[in-house]
Each structure stands twice: as structure tokens, then as C-alpha cells.
Amino acid sequence: MALELLGGCSAAISRLRSHVKRLVSSSEGNDADDLSRYLADLATQAREQRTRVEQIVAWTGPYRATLESLQGRCHDDPHLLSAISFLVAGWASQVHNGYDSYQEGDDERDEELGRLGYRLRMMIEDRRWLVNEYTFKSVSANQAKLAYSIILLRSPFCEAYDKILNILLRSMGTDQATVRSKSLKSVNQVLETDPSILDVNSNVLNKILECAGDTSTQVRDSALGLLGNCMTMRPALEDALTEVIVNRFQDSGVGVRKRAMKLARDIYLRNHSRTLRSLIANGLLRRVHDPDESVCELARQVIEEVWFAPFYRDDGTAVYQTSLTEHVSLVIQTVNSGTLSETLDKVFRSILRPKDKSLQGPFSVCSKLVANMFGLIDNLDSDDSTVPSGRDALNVLTIFANADPKLFNFEQIRLLKPHLASFAKPEELTAFRSVTVIYRRVLPILSTVHSDFLLEVRKLLLGAVGKLNLRTPLDDLIACTLVVCELLNVFEPLANAMASSLAGLQRLRSMGKLDEKTSLFLNAYCLVIGMIAKHCDLDNCPGPFKKKFPKWPGGSVARLAIDTLAPFTAPSQPLDSRRPALDAIGLACQSWPRNYVIPKVYTAFQQVFDEQIPSLENAILRSFREFLIIEEKRSETAGQAPQGKKKELTVMGGTSYDDVASATTQRFLKDITRIALSSQDEHAFLAMEVLGSINRQGLTHPKETGVTLITLETSSNRKIAELAWEEHRSLHEKHETVLEREYVKAVQSAFAYQRDVVGEPHGATTNPFQSKLHYLMETLKISKMKNRQRFLDKLCGQVDFELAKLDMSGDIPTQMVYARFVIENLAYFEYQTIGELQTTVNAMEKILTSTGAPVAQAIESEVFNVRMDIDQPTTAPDGPPGFSTADSISVSAPVDGQPSVAPVPAFALTVEPDRLRQLATAAVILLSMWEVRTFIRRLFGMGLKRQDTKVKALAKDLNKSPVKVQGVHGDKVWDEIESLMKGLQDQEHMIKTCSAFVELLNVDKDLKVADDAGEMDLEPATPSADEDEEGDVMAERGRKRKGGSTPGGRKKRARSSSQPRKRGRPRKNRESVEHEVDGDLDGDWF
């Protein structure tokens, strides 16, 4: 509220300053009199705070001008007499304060102030004195307003303007996100009234820019809004601020991304800088693949608004043509600035073929763009980056051809033929490939194509088949050649090329060991065979093959190719021979899938996976990916087919190769999963793409891919993480019940992945703090609250342990690192409801009381040699006289309930080192968990005690969204956990850790389970077995404390509630429940 008031005050002062500036401007005309010019000069000095006291209080100054104006209006409004009195009093006060402020004497000044004081006294005694004693010219309304405005500007309130503005600027850097956001809104109020602040105070803009990168989504959103206003008020700032806006396109907050894109749209339409527009367009195109569908839709909409809508109305003027030409250059520059071809293809398709909009506008604009680009295709490369080259224009034309081939006509297509004549130079090869792509897409849809032209094109294409040895250009070349052959209905040239390549491969096989030159031939033959097998069905052209292979019985040409290639995939062959052969087999199989299930193929594939050679695995995975994507499209097409067509399917609801896809998936799923989980590079991403397609088609049981997907969600490779999350979310929506049983196992797998592959076993990332399992929690938003509560309860159970079975292997025990991974995730989760918070906190408190009590007892008895004796005082024979646990450390109880530990005095240890390390490990785990429990309670205002009234208030509505407390940050708990993890460094640290844990249980009374009405749990129920046990344990342990409970145990008091104690069977023990639910969990993830 204070910030809002200060914002309103400073805005009001800014409005006054602006008002004075306007009045000064109107008073400086040629017809201005002496008074107007005098007041204008004084006002200018007052705005800059350069006026002296004697100028303000002068007899001929602003006070007198204001009084004269009021005196002249008294006859019309008698209420002005009070205003005159107020003004005279203010004048007198200023004279008094001014006289006292002077340190040095000045007779002339003092004399003048004395005369002024006398006149003011007379005016106070007789309000008509001024009128009776002096005559003056009439003061105009504008002069009176300006005079009084000068008085206001020099008032203490208005002079505090800079102080108020500095307070607002400092508030933009406070610890509390809400305060930072409020201060931004207040600064916005000030800037709207006085934009000149941006010109004179650069610190204002710097502070706003800092907030644009703030850790809080709310602050970043407010800062973006303010930056938008700044650019509206000062358009010159656009060049400097646009990059900041575009960077926010990738913000973690959906609202921030949307606001940034809307701001960028406005900048684009206002600013004609090609560099700026290209930067904005590039950023918008990358958001077309945003994980949030609403952001994707907004990105497509904005692209249409800035790239197409301005050209919907063709007025035929030279200005329109110039704008269109500039726009073509901009599109080409944008495409050249990044790998956006595939994205642009999809964007253009969605704009050209929308579901609910007319096609005429976008289609007409795209046709004009295409026609304009054909005027550039012969341009040579230029040193001027603003001038597009012919190669660049052809590249963009391929995007339009893929989006809609109908944008082209035959006359335009003919202009491209000369680019097929040569491809020796890199720039020629680029143009050659672009033309083949355009021909492949456009030729089949042209209504009339001359056969002579097609024959010439075919000749040029076939001449290039044997000369190209690059995978992608040859792929496009063969596809284009097939289109031309289909239009001519002549396939023999392709069959001859395939037969010749197979015969050449046979000759190489008979030569035995290959040298460098013959290896190049092998690569070329394999590539041609694979590409032709991928694109062409040559089974109806057996002539050339029987001529080259007289013993071939006929049938499948693809099978003949695989049989010829298979010997080169053997492990005995060199790697340079196996790679192209496997690639060619994969290309043949993806178009002829039945070959995946023949023994020689899957045996060769399995051999590669067993050897784990990445380059060979890549060839196989690429084949799987393309085949599965084709199957997906075929399945989608079948689903959209008319009813009559569906009867043609061999399997109800399926496709011809469902059995092949299923068999191949089952055979190689373990290897694909291994590759996806073994690294974070492109090799792993390729495997993830294969898994994604498998998941979308439902080729495996959800359990087989669910754990892997959740694990890969935690990858630091954003592409892998986002794709895995997308697939996991889809799987969860369809199979929630099955999948939720695997979530704990998935957490264990994610930990192993983070530790072994990512190399960062922490449970969260910093700057800002974010749980590594945040995608999992985001997916669980789909579920009901009780399902999320069940997951959180199980997750907390992962921290629990049996002391005797605690694994101590390694420099840092694995169980301790895993516990840190879990509790750091719990600390930084974005909880959806209060019920989830209650479940999490309650589960951690129960673990501490059930597991922690035996640990503390073991530490006291084995480390500090404290023994329980009801009749005799406890002694420590091996320690110094009078030593006890309470004496071993100095305890204070800070607000958060955590004890502070002083150095432990030296004493003789009788515990074995391994046992001490085991106890210290247990203490570290439980202390870290307790730190997180306390942090969560503080962060969400749950109080620090179970009996806290705040907790009772929160428990009334468990479905409400929790609200974070201002000023509580995640860095403190992070540092505390880091410090605790160093508790095993040496014996001294281990003893300190053990002491801290014992003190926690002895000092923190919140751990003593209350039995009165003040105790609050998640829901009313019969006390469970573990609750009873923990009460007994704490009562027993209380005996050795001074003033503790009696040896007979705690005396129970009657409940304050009139409701009798509920009867019924006690709830199950936590451990038994966990064993029931997760009994099948595998312990090998660590």
C-alpha cells in the first residue's frame, strides 16, 4: 500500500511539473508582459530546483501575484477569503524559515525581509490592507495558475520528489517479489505523467532491465509491460530494448512469453529496420514449437499479422511494390539467420490452409512473394548482406514449394532448369538441391508439362546420380528423378542405375580387402542402392536385374539389395564398410518394412547394438525413426479415411505393418532405451525421437517407456527434456493408473541418470531454483489431489531407511546423495494445493519421529556413552566428569527451531569408525530432511509447530492454492543442506553432526507428539501404531532430561473435546504400506 501511495504521490508531482512546463510554454509568446516572463523564468528554475528563498517570498513574486488574483475574485466567491488567509500564512512561514536558514548576515537582505514581515503582519491583521495600500494591474488566470504552481513546486512535498522516486527505484531491488512488482507499477505511473525522466535518469531504465531478468515471473511480466510503455513514450529506445524483449520469448512463464510476443509485434509494425524485424521474426518462428499450445497459436497468429496481413490489400502503387520487395529481402534474411526451414514450412502451411479462414488473402500474398523471388534467382553472391543472392532466394522458394506447390506455374519452373546443369561448386550444389526439391513438389500438380521439357530434366538428373556422393542431396535427387519418371511412365533408367550399383558391389566383394579408393566406390554404391530402394518400387522392372544377376529368381528388388549388402555388415568387415552398408539396408527397410523381420537383418542390427558403436547405431536408429514416423502418418491417414476405405485395412484400426513395428520395437526396445539414457548428445536425442514415436503408437506397455520418459525429462538438454515431457504427459492422460505405480521407480532412475550421465546429482537447479522433477509435477496437475498426495507420501518415504541396512559404500554414501536428491526436489516443487503441503510436511515429521528416535538413542548410547538408568543418574565413564549430551554442545533455539552447535569437547570414543560413519550418515539425512520441512513451513506460512493456529486455519480448506510468504528464499535451505553434506569429512565433523541431531530431538518440543486437542493431523482418524510408538519413545527418552516425565511414562489427560475417542482398527504402519505398494521396486537404480 505504501508503494501504491508513493506512486500516486510521485505521479501527482510529475503531473504538476508537466503542467508548469505547458504554462511556461504558453507564457513565452511575443505578447507576454513583464509579469508573465518573470514568472516563466522563475517556474523554469523551480522545476530544476534552482530557485532561492528570497525569489519565492519576494514582494513582487508568485505569492503576491496569487493573492492579487484571489483578492479580485473575492466579490464573486466569499469562500476565497479562507484561501487568502491560508496563502498569507504560508507566505509568512516561508519568510520565517528563510530568515532562519541564512547563516551569514546581510543588512540589505535583512532590511528587505523586515519590510516584508511588517507587510505580512498588516495583511494578517487586516485582509483589506493590501488592496487599500497598493494598486496593481489585473493578474490573468494563467498567470495566477503559474504563480501558485511555482509555490507548490517549492513546497516540502514536491521537493521530496527525488527522494520518493529513489525509494521506488530501490524497492525494485528488494528481496520480496511482490514488492518489486508493485514498485514497477508505481514507477509506471510516474513515467506515464513525466516521460522525460527516461532522458535525464538512466538509472531508471537500468533498474527496469534488471527486473526483466528477475527470478520471479510476476516481476518479469510487470517489467516487460513497463518496457513496452517506455518504448511507446520514447520510440528511440526500440533499437536498444528489442533484443531484451525477444529474449523473453523463451521465458519459463507462459504469460511472460505471450506478453513479449505481443510487444514485439507492435515494435515490428512500427519500426522499419530490417535488422530489427528479422530478429523479431526469427524469435517468433522458434516459438511455433513451444510446449504450450496457446503460445504456439499466438506465434502463428503474430507471424500472419506482421508478414501477410499488411499485404492483403494490393493497391497497385509503387509504394506497395517497394514494400513487397523489401519484405522478400526480409524473409530471405530471416531464413538465412538460422535453421528455420522446417519451421517456416509448417507456419506457411498453417497460414495458407487454415481450418476456419479464407485462403484468398495469404495465398495471394505468397504468390506475389514467390513471383518476386524468381526475379532474384540469378543474382550472384554479394558482399552486401542486405542484397539477397540467387542461392538464398532458391532456398526460400523450396519452403514455399513444400508449403503449397500451387503457388508456382510452369513458366516459373522452366526458369530453374539451368541450375541442374552443374553442381561442382558448393554454391552450385546448394542451388541444384533446391531445384530438385521444387521440381519434386511442383511438377506432379502442374496441369500441363511438355514431355520434351521432362526428358531434358530427366537427362540432367540421371547424369548426376553417379556423381553425387552426399546423402541429403542424393536423397532429393532420386526423389525428383522418380517424379519425372512417373510423369513419363518410364522407370527403366532408375532400374538400370540400381542394377549397375548392385553389380558393382558384387565386384567389390570379390576383391577381398578394400583400399581407400575402393572404399569410396563402396560408399557411392551403397548410397545409390539405399536411396533408390527407399524411393522406388522396381519389382515390375526385373529386366535389368536379371541381366546383371542371372541366378536371381525374381521377386522383391529390395530383398535382392539387402542380400547383396548384408555381407558388408559383418563384424569382420572394417567400420568404413559396415556403416554405408547398414545405412543402405536401413533405407531399404524403412520403405519395405517386412525386411526388418528377416533373420539376417535383425541379427546384423543386434550385433551392432551389442557392440555399442555409436556411428553404426545411428544408422539403424535413423531407419527406425523414419519407418515409425511413416507408420504414424499412415495410421493418422487411415483414421481420417472415409468409411469405405477403412475396409481395405488388413487389421481393424491398424495398418499393414503394425506387426512389423511391434516386433521390431519389442526386439530392440532395451537397446534404444539404453542409448537414450547413456548421454545427452544428438545420439541420445535420436533414440528419444524413436521412443517418442513408439509411445505415440502404443507399441509397448506404458510401464516399459514411462520410467524412461520421466527420467529423460530431467535432462539438461532442453530438446530431450521437452520431447520426453510431451510424451510422458500424453501417456499419463491415457494410462494414469498404470503409470503412477512406476513413479517412485522413475525417481530412482532419474537420480541415477543425473548422477551418472548429467554429472549433477542435486535435486534442483539454481538461478532460479527449480526442481529437476518439475516436469513430473507439471504432469501430475492433470491428476486429482489425492493422487498427488499419494505420490508425495511415497516420495518422502524414499528418504526413510533402516539404520542397520544403511549402505555406507563410497566416499559419500549413495543413500545420502539420493536422499539429498529427493529432499531438494521436495523443497522446490510448485505445490498446487494446501493438502499436498500438509501431506509432505506430515510425512517428513513422521519419518523423523519414527526413524529418528532410534538413531538418536543409538548415538547417545554408542557415541556419547549415555546410559538409561531410572534409579541412578546417568554417567559417562569414558567421557570427562559430568559429561552428557546436553553438555556436549551449546544449544540455542532460534526462530526456525534449529539448534546451533558449538565445538564438542574432546573425550574418548569407544564407537567403531564404521559405526560412527553410519550414524553420522543417518543424522545428515534426517537433519537435511528437517531443514526442508522447516523451509516449507516457513515458505507457505504454516507455522513451525504442529499445534500452530496457522496450520489449523490452512487445514480448513485443503484444496486451496498455497500462498508463498514474502522474504523466504530457497538459497538458505540450499546452503544448509550443502553444509550438512560435509558432515562426513572427518571424525570431528561426524561427532558434530551426531550432536546436532540429538539436540534437535531433545530440544525441539514439536517432535513430542501431543495428545490433546491442540494436535492437528491431515484428517481425523484413530491413532496409528507408529504414532503410539513414537509417543512412547519420546516419553521414555524424556526420563533422562531434568524435569522430564515420570518413569511410568507420560500421564494422559482427558481430551478437551466432548467427542469420545474413536474406536476401530489402527491404521497400517508406514513401512508395511510401502512394502505393499512398492514391493516390486528394483533396488539396482543406485
Per the model's pLDDT, the better-predicted residue between 58 and 478 turns out to be 478
> Alpha-carbon distance 64 to 58, whole Å?
8
Number of CB atoms found within 10 A of residue 33's CB: 11
Position 370 confidence tier, pLDDT thresholds 50, 70, 90 = very high
Q: What is the pTM of this model?
A: 0.74
Within 8 A by CB and 6+ apart from 559, the residues are 592, 595, 598
Amino acid at 55: Q
Asked whether the predicted pLDDT for residue 1019 surpasses 60, the reply is: no
- Highest-scoring range by mean pLDDT, 213-227, 823-837, 869-883, 1009-1023: 823-837
pLDDT at 101: 67
DSSP 223-259: HHHHHHHHHHH-GGGHHHHHHHHHHGGG-SSHHHHHH
Rounded to whole angstroms, the Cα distance separating 908 from 863 reads 9
> Do residues 992 and 962 make contact, with C-beta atoms less than 8 angstroms apart?
no
The closest alpha carbon to 280, from 244, 313, 316, belongs to 244
Q: How confident is the model at residue 165 (pLDDT cuts 50, 70, 90)?
A: confident
| The three three-digit cell numbers of residue 901, written as one number | 552447535
Tally Cβ neighbours within 10 Å of residue 757: 18
Higher pLDDT, 161 or 951: 161
Could you tell me the pLDDT band of residue 1080, with boundaries at 50, 70 and 90? Answer: very low
Contacts of 978 (CB under 8 A, 6+ apart): none
> Are the C-beta atoms of residues 916 and 904 closer than 8 Å to each other?
no
- Segment 457-471, tens digit of pLDDT: 999 999 999 888 899
Q: Which of 130-139, 181-190, 746-755, 805-814 has the lowest mean pLDDT?
A: 130-139
Is the pLDDT at 174 greater than 90? The verdict is no
* Stretch (H or E) spanning 988: helix 987-1003
Candidates 564, 593, 595; CA nearest to 581 is 564
User: CB under 8 Å to 993, separation ≥6 — which residues?
Assistant: 920, 923, 924, 927, 980, 983, 984
Helical H runs in 337-450? 341-352, 360-374, 390-403, 410-414, 426-442
Q: What is the pLDDT of residue 21?
A: 81
Burial class (CB in 10 A: 0-12, 13-18, 19+), 355: exposed
Give pLDDT tens digits for 1044-1078. 433 344 444 444 444 444 444 444 444 444 444 44
Q: Where is pLDDT greater, at 952 or 150?
A: 150
Q: Which three cell numbers stand for residue 701?
A: 506397455
* Contact residues for 192 (Cβ-Cβ < 8 A; gap 6+): 11, 229, 233
The burial of 296, by beta-carbon neighbours within 10 Å (0-12 exposed, 13-18 middle, 19 or more buried), is given as middle
User: Rounded mean pLDDT of 849-871?
Assistant: 81
For 606-660, what is each residue's pLDDT tens digit?
A: 999 999 999 999 999 999 999 999 998 887 766 555 555 544 444 433 457 889 9
pLDDT at 869 > cutoff 60:
no
Distance (Å, whole) CA 626 – CA 942: 53
User: Residue 714 to residues 72, 137, 530, 1025: CA-CA distances in angstroms?
Assistant: 79, 82, 37, 37
Share of the chain above pLDDT 70, in %: 83
Nine-digit cell string for 725: 515431457
Q: Are 314 and 320 in contact (CB under 8 A)?
A: yes
